[in-house]
């Protein structure tokens, strides 16, 4: 398509020079046509590469950056009492947060809650269940 467009411009220049009827004008039109050929070749090679770059950006890079931003925001907004799921599939309630570690209450053993410490990056998601419902059986 681009090649046809550029060829049409060079053809129009050559026809204009031929219509002028001068040998100098025809030579100048042929010269311009020869000069357009390398430009057309470069555009013909570069345009698909640019198009592929744009497609990769909008289909792969941009959505991944958006997802990474959401995960980072979720990890920064963790607070005491949030119910979370870890990347290992463990459900628990945050009891303490210190720098890059989180202490979870994961259940009860003989009336006392069992606690475990995990890395902050190991949190997969924050559950929508509130702390008030923690004592109920979740289906």
Quick one: tokens of 75?
A: 């990890």
pLDDT at position 107 is 84
Task: Kindly tell me the sign of the dihedral angle through the C-alpha atoms of 31, 37, 2, 62.
Answer: negative
> In the structure, what pLDDT confidence band is assigned to residue 139 with cuts at 50, 70 and 90?
very low
130 or 44, greater pLDDT? 44
Integer CA distances (angstroms), 99 to 78, 81, 85, 138, in order? 11, 17, 19, 30
Flag whether the pTM goes above 0.95.
no
Say how far apart CA 10 and CA 37 lie, in whole Å.
9
Structural domains of the chain sorted by starting position, each given as residue range(s) with its CATH number in brackets: 2-75 (no CATH), 78-133 (2.30.30)
How many other C-beta atoms can be found within 10 angstroms of the C-beta atom of residue 36? 17
> In the structure, what pLDDT confidence band is assigned to residue 6 with cuts at 50, 70 and 90?
very low
Cβ-based burial of 1 (10 A; exposed 0-12, middle 13-18, buried ≥19): exposed
């Amino acid at each position: 398509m681009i090649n046809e467009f550029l060829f049409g411009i060079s053809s129009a220049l050559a026809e204009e020079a031929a219509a002028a009827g001068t040998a100098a004008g025809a030579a100048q039109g042929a010269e311009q046509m020869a000069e357009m050929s390398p430009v057309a070749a470069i555009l013909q090679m570069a345009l698909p590469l640019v198009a592929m770059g744009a497609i990769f950006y909008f289909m792969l890079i941009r959505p991944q950056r958006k997802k990474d931003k959401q995960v980072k925001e979720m990890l920064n907004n963790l607070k005491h009492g949030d119910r979370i799921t870890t990347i290992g599939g463990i459900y628990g309630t945050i009891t303490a947060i210190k720098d890059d570690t989180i202490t979870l209450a994961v259940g009860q053993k003989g009336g006392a809650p069992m606690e475990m410490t995990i890395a902050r990056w190991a949190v997969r998601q924050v559950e929508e269940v509130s702390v008030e419902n923690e004592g109920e059986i979740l289906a």
